[in-house]
Amino acid sequence: MDGPNPGQENDPVYIKGALEKGYEAEIDVWLLENNWWLGHDKPTYQVEDSLFRNKGLWCHAKNVEALEKLVTLSWVNCFWHQSDDCVVTSKKYIWTFPGKPLTMNSIAVMPENTQDQDLSKVAGICTDYVEKYQKLYQK
């Protein structure tokens, strides 16, 4: 919550802890041979599809198979991206990359990697420094 923690990124226990504290979490989702996995660069943690019933998850599909299945689940907020400036999530938020123009419907991704962006009117912030930005913006 107060900086990068690569060793716990996408760990279901770590995600559950963040959700229990009232935060939301971006997770990296893979679907391989009809099995769900979490992991940034590769499938690392096998999970049940019941995980996606948790409110507050932002599911970043890491392969097209995951995206194809996630978009059929009406309660899931998911997206896919490559090197786009922004993408629209399945719940119609604008997932906006660092330094790119922001709107009131934007999720500002990793604002710590940019300077001089007004984050006071965005829909949300995705950062490794959650507590810092919560104190600044009380969202």
pLDDT at position 6: 85
Q: What is the DSSP string of 65-92?
A: HHHHHHTT-TT-EEE--SS-SEEE-TTS
Residue 108 bridge partners (DSSP): 96, 125
CB 29 within 8 A of CB 59: yes
For the stretch 63-120, pLDDT in tens is 999 999 999 999 999 999 988 999 999 999 999 999 999 999 999 999 999 988 899 8
Mean pLDDT over 49-68 rounds to 97
Instruction: Say which residue the tokens 């049940």 belong to.
Output: 48
User: Whole-angstrom Cα distance, residue 5 to residue 134?
Assistant: 18
- pTM (two decimals): 0.93
Is the pLDDT at 139 greater than 80? The verdict is: no
User: Whole-angstrom Cα distance, residue 136 to residue 28?
Assistant: 27
